[in-house]
Amino acid sequence: MKGINPLAIIGVAAIVAIVLPFVGSDYAISFSIQLLIFLVLAASWNWIGGYAGYTHFGQVGFFGIGAYVGSLLNFHYGMPWYLAAIIAALAGAAVAIPLGGAMLRLKGPFFAIGMFGLARVLEAFALGFDSITGGGTGIYLKPVSDLRPLYWAVAGVAMIMVLLTWRLDNSRLGLKLLAIREDESAAESLGLPTTRLKIGTFVASAIAPAAMGSIYAVYLGFIDPPTAFAPNMELTTIAMVLLGGMGTVLGPLVGAIVLSVVNEVLWASYPQIYLACVGVIVLLAVLFMPRGIVSLGMKKGWFRIGRPQFRRLAARKEQAAA
């Protein structure tokens, strides 16, 4: 077994993340905060979309809920941003529980579009209830003078998300989710409590995005409905997971790093066509690399394949042969 151990990559990323605020410029820190927020979103989406196989286009809904809950607490009650982020996370979970119960009755594409519609409804509510949310004018928050505390918070959450994914990948729970992804009725017939597992995963994948929404609002110093519920946020997140590799530990990490850098370059040189370019990247990834960079790397032997992953590969004929 040659190749790089995934834990080594996570370790290197962690060391870079810890050293960066001491040596990096303000620009580097600002860029890294965006990257890490996307990493958290991608890792969360990977749980429900990659492992459990319930792809959806509504995660930005939780992001937006978090952004508004956090901003309103911060704006009206002067609550410090870290407390507001924790309450936003709880609000995300509180919304996700009943929502999961209703929406997870849908399968495949219906779930995906149902969630997409829901995010748009939330945006409509944020616009419509302008006495609370400020409507289209948005809410202006006190700007933060130093981005470093935000950076530490986001980096900490990102680290936890990646480690939790690693833990999930090596656990029975991870196997159960994969069983749901591959064949839900078979999983159910084997006695797995699929409904509970799905709702649990859905709720777990809503918590961190809500917290990130709240922190993103502080980072921007401003929030309005199109920013809080931006469809391009959704597309970028999904593109990261897809590009990195759905249902892998390193996928969101690799995808977030690669696509953030590409985005930054595109945004700097071609702001008008940058979103169309992200679309083209997703399209090319779907057509030519649907399993993502990490799976490709495992096939070519760049990454060491962990024991659980290896066992799973052995069970799949086409992949074991490659």
Partner 1 sequence: MPVADLLIGGILLGGVYALMACGLNLIFGVMRVINFAHGDILAISALSTVSIAVGLKLPFWVAIVFVPIGCAAFGALIQVLILRRIEGAPMIMSLLATYALSTILVNVAILIWGGGYSGLPGVLSGSIRIIGVNVSLSRLVSFVCAIGVSLAVWWMLEYTRFGRAVRSVSAAPELASISGIAIERVRLATFALGTAMAGFAGVLVAPAFAIDPQLGSRFIIKAFAVIIVGGMGSYPGAILAALLLGVVEVVGSYFAGAVIGSAFLFLLMLAVLLVRPRGLLGAGVRA
- What value does the CA radius of gyration of the chain take, rounded to a whole number of Å? 19
- In the structure encoding, which two tokens stand for residue 29, read together? 């820190």
Give the shortest CB-205-to-partner 1 separation in angstroms: 16
Question: Which residues, in sequence order, are bridge partners of residue 140?
Answer: 222
Could you give the C-alpha distances from 148 to 18, 26, 201, 221, in angstroms and in order?
11, 9, 31, 15
- Binder among 12, 19, 105, 143 for partner 1 (CB under 8 A): 105
Give the shortest CB-281-to-partner 1 separation in angstroms: 8
Give the shortest CB-91-to-partner 1 separation in angstroms: 19
Q: Can you tell me which residue has the tokens 């001491």?
A: 22
- Binder among 55, 133, 237, 309 for partner 1 (CB under 8 A): 55
Give the shortest CB-279-to-partner 1 separation in angstroms: 4
14 vs 112 by CB, closer to partner 1 = 112
23 vs 287 by CB, closer to partner 1 = 287
238 binds partner 1 (CB under 8 A): yes
- Taking the C-alpha atoms of residue 182 and residue 49, their distance in angstroms, rounded to an integer, is 12
∠ at Cα 68 (63, 69), nearest 5°?
A: 100
- In the structure encoding, which two tokens stand for residue 13, read together? 């990323």
55 vs 74 by CB, closer to partner 1 = 55
What percent of the chain is helix, strand and coil (3-state, nearest 5)? Answer: 80, 0, 20
Which part of the chain contacts partner 1 (CB under 8 A), choosing from 60-68, 167-175, 269-277, 300-308?
A: 269-277
Binding mask 277-306 for partner 1 (x = CB under 8 A): -xxx-xx--xx--x----------------
- Taking the C-alpha atoms of residue 194 and residue 318, their distance in angstroms, rounded to an integer, is 27
- Taking the C-alpha atoms of residue 256 and residue 241, their distance in angstroms, rounded to an integer, is 8
Q: Contact 237/42 with Cβ under 8 angstroms?
A: yes
53 vs 306 by CB, closer to partner 1 = 53
Give the shortest CB-14-to-partner 1 separation in angstroms: 30
Could you give the C-alpha distances from 37 to 32, 208, 260, in angstroms and in order?
8, 9, 11
106 binds partner 1 (CB under 8 A): yes
Q: Which residues bind partner 1 (CB under 8 A)?
A: 49, 53, 55, 57, 102-103, 105-110, 112-114, 116-118, 120-121, 124-125, 127-129, 231-232, 235, 238-239, 242, 272-273, 275-276, 278-280, 282-283, 286-287, 290
